[in-house]
Amino acid sequence: MIRAVLLDIEGTTTSLSFVHDTLFPYAAAHLAGFVREHRDEPRVARLLADARAYAGGDLDDPALIERMRAWMDADQKITPLKALQGLIWENGYERGDFRGHVYPDVPEGLRLWKDAGIDLYIFSSGSVHAQKLLFGHTEAGDLNPLFSGYFDTRIGGKRDADSYRRIAAEMGLPPEQILFLSDRPEELDAAALTRMHTAAVLREGVEGPFGNHRSFPDFANLMPDTMARG
């Protein structure tokens, strides 16, 4: 029996274009100004220090900003960078520069699963803060009350089976009672190694192959409590 659904964001609940054509360019365009304005705030200073340490050198602010832009261009999953992006996006959401995108079937699907007694969780390479911002500012309203928890790269990489073992332990559930949804076969493979149930969501431009993982075009016909692994 499925007692929890763990969801990827990009390409699963939310369009790739929103992330790559709206969020990422916004963060890159506002990075330098954000650092100049907020560099002395404790949480920002801590993240900048962590980013410098990751870069392996004592970079000044302009050099660090250029390094972080290069990381963004390469879509590097670097935890302090993702946290800084989340803070920049927070300003954008608050100013109304954009809203969090979710596919039309997502709110209804999440509510149906929640009403069926299934707990909902997110696992994304974006920071937990960024995840909450996205789901808190959608056209369908604030979806955060539907979720029981959020996970980011602080728990591990999304292609690492140990990340899913840690997530199951955090949930207090055996992996066999968790369904993981993603558009990435490598992530589904990692989750399946722990004996989680898995399913691919075939949004626009996603075709697979997905091997033994079941696949669905959207959330409308996906009922977690009837899922069988493989």
pLDDT band (50, 70, 90) for residue 227: low
User: Residue 33 sits in which domain range?
Assistant: 19-95
Tell me what pLDDT residue 230 has.
40
- Domain stop point among 95, 112, 130: 95
- Domain stop point among 76, 95, 114: 95
pLDDT band (50, 70, 90) for residue 4: very high
The CATH number that applies at residue 32 is: 1.10.720
pTM to 2 decimal places: 0.86
For 73, 121, 126, the CA distances from 202, given in Å and listed in that order, are 25, 20, 21
Together in a domain, 216 and 200? yes
Q: How many domains does the chain have?
A: 2
Tell me what pLDDT residue 77 has.
85
Average pLDDT over residues 171-184: 96
Together in a domain, 80 and 111? no
Lookup result for tokens 């192959």: 209
Rg of the chain over all Cα atoms, to the nearest angstrom: 18
- Domain stop point among 95, 121, 150: 95
Together in a domain, 106 and 190? yes
204 vs 83, higher pLDDT: 83
Nearest to 10 by CA among 105, 92, 103: 103
Give 58-100 pLDDT, tens digit per residue.
899 999 999 999 999 998 889 999 999 999 999 999 999 999 9
Together in a domain, 125 and 209? yes
- Work out the mean pLDDT of the chain and round it to a whole number: 93
For 55, 110, 160, the CA distances from 170, given in Å and listed in that order, are 30, 21, 16
Strands lying side by side in the sheet with 214-216:
149-151, 119-123, 4-7, 178-182, 197-201, 214-216
Together in a domain, 180 and 150? yes
User: pLDDT above 70 covers what percent of the chain?
Assistant: 97
Tell me what pLDDT residue 123 has.
98
Tell me what pLDDT residue 229 has.
42
Residue 228 pLDDT > 80:
no
Tell me what pLDDT residue 210 has.
87
Give 84-142 pLDDT, tens digit per residue.
999 999 999 999 999 999 999 999 999 999 999 999 999 999 889 999 999 999 999 99
